Structure 1
Amino acid sequence: MSEQTFAAVQTPSSTPVRRPANGVWRQGWRRFARSRTGMLGLILVLLVVATAVVGPFVAPFDPQDQSAMIDPGAKAPPSWTHPLGTDRMGYDVASRVIYGAPTALAVGLGAMSIASLIGVLIGGVAGYRGGLADEVLMRFTDFFLVIPMFVVILAVVRLLGVAIVNTPFESVPYLNLGVIILLIGMFSWAPIARMTRAEFLRLKHQEFVEAARCIGATSADILFRHILPNALPSLVVIIALGIGGAVLAEAMIGFLGFGDPAAISWGQLLYFNYEALKVAPWASLSPGGAIFVTVLGFNLLADGLTDAFNPRAKS
């Protein structure tokens, strides 16, 4: 045996283990680009993102400015001055819908960031360790799967909600936007954890993981450099679905009247204008359409990602 061959055998760690993650992403993007459903969802999501970023700079009115109210023009129909009409208070509906886009994206991305962090951590440990740790963590995950999120949110509103005076005789509690994001995130991680566990169980015995283990890679290195990058394609799909679900959950909280009044959201616009649905339907249909487009965009995006990264599921 030559010295070079002997050195290569004695120091196998000098040869990096090739991981298929980059190839999976490249092939997945090619299949995604051919998916009409996925591209339509991507266009809708980019439209919402562009509205959230650029919209506040081009909105015709400041939604919180009292000067934007036109007293004789409350519930005014759409016009050149107000493309989507005005609500029951006389505010410009188009401006308020535009300013609601950043709130929707902040809730969706913030809540799913929290859910992803918790879900990947618990599911990854359960799938990689197995045994008793897997059993305990999965039963803990099942507990969060069956908890009704909105019942818990209503209880938190009663316990931690800040009361604002609505009339001289009653007060209405509400939740801060940060608390809403935290609650949605804390009750949305269970599906991500189960998906992560399934992916880790599938990948931990693959050849490239066994090769990394043979050359002395640590458990953290195997988890974060070898298994997790290859599990991300499947996780991205469920996270994209979760973002749409988080946006819808925040809209439902706002529609129930528990949203943060300091943050303009589409759910609150529905809450303040649903009583005038017969008189001024544009004030309710506009934020409802914005919620529909946003949730539909993320759902179609998730469908396209499913076709891209799991082509067998389509067939």
Structure 2
Amino acid sequence: MHGTLPPKPPGIWRQGWYRFRRNRGGMLGLILVALVVLVALTCFVAAPYDPNDQSAMLRGASRQGPSALHWLGTDRMGYDVLSRVLYGAPTALAVGLGAMAIASVIGVIIGGIAGYVGGLVDECLMRFAEFFMVIPVFIVILAVVRLFGIMVVGTWMERVPHLNLMTIIALLGLFGWPPVARMARAEFLRLKHAEFVEAAICIGTTRRDILARHILPNALPSLIVLVALGIGGAILAETMVSFLGFGDPKAISWGQLLYFNYESLKVAPWGSVAPGVAIFVTVLGFNLLADGLTDAFNPRLRQ
């Protein structure tokens, strides 16, 4: 009679989820992020007005305070503030997720190669990453967006929808990969000497399978923490670019709402306060989520 097999120990993801559920800050961040995602998915149905509807101006109701018709009031252009804040959620998520997707791919490739190969390759790639870290990214983004906007005038690219916004996303991703690369390097450097990797090498597993099936999945928890933190940072960066007047005028973003309404802050504060609160809630949610993930997958850091 054979005895029953012992239960399989929980994996790293299940253990992390158990620890994450006990973290109140992390769960609050998850709820806030889920709320923003829900708004982004349903804004096209939930918004009471079309985001480009200026009928309130024709009625002489621009800069009108919150009322039954306009729950968060109207701005100086006659737009319904609530509708435009709701429509700003998809833009914010597109910026955060798009920028970090680009940064993650570049960072994991460069950091993974540096950590796994080591030696001179590691040294050169890390110096390359440090070079990118000292570049004044914000100034570069402002300059490139303005120059690119001038260069495309009169060309077919001028007809591309949301070209400025896509440029900002691409630049945030192209300059945001060094922290991901440094983390990926550290994780690949640690995991390549792990026992399960050495066992895979002994049975003849190819280098490609070792990287894709053994090292990368175990490095993902630490990388996801950086990605969650970077999403909030990218949203904040796009807000600052748009607030300075370098954003995409055709896109509905919270930074654009601040840019268009900050002059009316004294007479119609709701036009600026509402998108400001939306930015605060979104960035806070991703930061709390990243903090909870840190505690969940790196419990030693809680000390």
Report the TM-score when normalising by structure 1. 0.88
Alignment match, 1:145: 133
The one-letter code matched in structure 2 to 1:280 is A
What's the C-alpha RMSD, in Å, of the aligned pairs?
A: 1.9
Could you tell me whether the CA contact under 8 Å between 1:21 and 1:230 is conserved in 2? Answer: no
Q: Are positions 1:34 and 2:22 aligned together? A: yes
> Judging changes above 3 Å, is the alpha-carbon distance between structure 1 residues 66 and 277 closer, same or farther for their aligned structure 2 residues?
closer
CA contact (8 A) 1:108 1:246 kept: yes
Matched with 1:242 is 230
Question: Letter of the aligned partner of 2:223 in structure 1?
Answer: L
Work out the number of aligned pairs and report it: 288
> Deviation at 1:246?
0.5
Structure 1 residue 55, shift from structure 2 partner? 1.6
Could you tell me how far apart the structure 1 residues matched to 2:151 and 2:262 are? 22
Q: 1:130 aligns with which of 79, 99, 118?
A: 118
Correspondence for 1:121 among 102, 109, 124: 109
Deviation string 1:98-135 (CA, Å, 9 cap, x unpaired) is 00000000010011000000000000000000001000
Q: Deviations over 1:183-228 (max 9, x none)?
A: 1101111100000000011110000000001111111111110000
Q: Read off the aligned partner of 1:48 and give its amino acid letter.
A: V
8 Å contact from structure 2 (residues 142, 241) kept in 1: no
For the structure 1 residues 292 and 97, does the alpha-carbon distance in structure 2 shift closer, same or farther, using more than 3 Å as the test? Answer: same
1:313 maps to a residue whose letter is: L
| Change in CA separation of 1:236 and 1:22 when aligned onto 2, cut-off 3 Å | farther
SS at match of 1:98: helix
Deviation at 1:21, TM superposition (A): 11
Aligned to 2:172: 184
Q: Output the CA distance in 2 between the equivalents of 1:103 and 1:163.
A: 24
Shift of 1:70: 4.4
Q: In 1, distance between residues paired with 2:131 and 2:39?
A: 38
Q: Secondary structure at the match of 1:72?
A: coil
Task: Give distance in 2, aligned partners of 1:187 and 1:22.
Answer: 37
Return the offset for 1:231. Answer: 0.4
Unaligned runs of 5+ residues in structure 2 are 1-7, 154-161
Aligned position for 2:98? 110
Letter in 2 for 1:75: R
Q: Structure 2 CA distance, aligned partners of 1:220 and 1:70?
A: 64
1:89 matched to 2:86:
no
Instruction: Give the equivalent residue in structure 1 for 2:32.
Output: 44
Moved more, 22-31 or 196-205: 22-31
Aligned to 1:229: 217
Aligned match of 1:205? 193
Q: In structure 2, how many angstroms separate the alpha carbons of the residues matched to 1:252 and 1:175?
A: 18
Kindly provide the CA deviation profile for residues 45-67 of structure 1, in whole angstroms up to 9, marking residues without a partner as x.
00000000012211110011344
Bigger mean CA deviation after superposition, 191-200 or 174-183:
174-183
Answer whether contact 2:54 2:77 (CA < 8 A) is retained: no
Q: What's the CA shift for 1:176?
A: 1.4
What residue in structure 1 maps to residue 262 of structure 2? Answer: 274
Counterpart amino acid of residue 77 in structure 1: G
2 CA distance for matches of 1:130 and 1:163? 42
Letter in 2 for 1:190: P
Q: Indicate which of 278, 302, 310 corresponds to 2:290.
A: 302
Match for residue 156 of structure 2? none
Q: TM-score, normalised by structure 2?
A: 0.92
* Bigger radius of gyration among the two: 1
